[in-house]
Structure 1
Amino acid sequence: MLTTALALILAHLLADYPLQNSWIIANKKRPEAMAAHIGVVFLLTLLALRAEILPALAITGAHLVIDVIKTHAAPNRLWAYLGDQLAHFATIGAVLWVWPELGLLWPEATLWVQYLLAISAGLILCVFAGGPAVGLLMADFSEIQHVGLPAAGRMIGVLERALIYLMVMAGQPAGIGFLIAAKSILRFDTVSKDQRASEYVIIGTLASFGWALLISYGTLSLITFTGITPPHLESASQLP
């Protein structure tokens, strides 16, 4: 069951983040954009379920309903974004409960397969899902103007969350302190001249780092407590 659950979670995260391009996101209220997204969801879910049509249709149908509600009825706020993702995960859990035989779909799965599924899902959740979460949190401070490269802040967030995830999974969380120090030094000239910009950077940085640490250690805990760490990696992925 664990392998099937991880495969479904990874399929969902791939469809919602790396494979949902900017055109789909910007035009989600248009039927063709929603259809393109739902088509990707169905194909990846079908792959994760090894061509089991009915449960794949159930997950895809629920995904469509949840996305329609979020797109047309829910406010563009952090709580709605988090609620949307929790609803998708709950749908996966419900389908596995209704069809318990789905737990037998991957009998040949090794510890390596489960481990790679878990760290891949954690990486997407940490790096890509964190961007919208932090952005929505910072929406209340949108009046603060910043002069810089277009989308540079978003790329910095992606890179810092990826580095934090890598450090935690490699068993080297002390490196996060150097990352904080480096960012503080690089941002010093900007924040020292403008208190509002300083506060904005601090809030955004803490939110991004907090998200990354939460997801990284959550993934590490899942791997540790389910016992899916390959033997020769156990020493590198121990919880501190």
Structure 2
Amino acid sequence: MSWDILLKLLLAHLLADFAFQPKKICIGKRLPGVGKWSHLLLHSFIHTVVAYLLLQEWDEWIVPSIIFVSHLGIDYLKSAFMRENAWSFFIDQLLHLAVLLLIWGFLFGGTDALCEWLGEYEISSGFWIVAIAYLLVLKPTSIVLSMFFHRWSKEAEEASLPNAGEFIGYLERILILTFILTNHIEGVGFLLAAKSVFRFGDLSKAKEIKTTEYVLIGTLASFTIAIVIGFVSLALIR
């Protein structure tokens, strides 16, 4: 029952914050004065109603009250003091999630259910190997590659978006590791082919061949490190 409550709270949040929040409300929350408050109050009221209807705890008025006040406060602080960007979105969602977890934990016995689940669940060594592998293919690999290519990077990436290459590397290495750990090695070849089409397509038009060489070496080095980490992790797990 306790876990059902948490799932209902999460579903209510997703519905109210995304499905039932039109663009007009999103823009309205950034308006000055009364216009802002009318949209903030309406949005918080929608959250409250959706959560109340999904929970079906008709006598528990404290839950919708907490949801209304907390959502109103968090959204006001976001609109008043934070710019509309990815970081503000993640912080906003984390705060809302924290409120829902506190409601579930202290009002519906979620803390006891979580402790009981953790007591029964034994984390194997394979979990830690996979966790370390995913961490290794992110920043550590990026640092190694940047140190190796430092002497060429400034000249070859003058026209690139800021940090674009780094984030592309993160995504491709995560995908490679996932393909290997799930025994879908063919996905690595598909990824390399797809990247070749999009990344190397315009390089034939480059005035200097060194740009092509830089991208090719960087891609192969990134793929090689991710593949090695993936197969080593797979061998350790088995």
What TM-score do the two structures reach when normalised by structure 2?
A: 0.45
Q: TM-score, normalised by structure 1?
A: 0.45
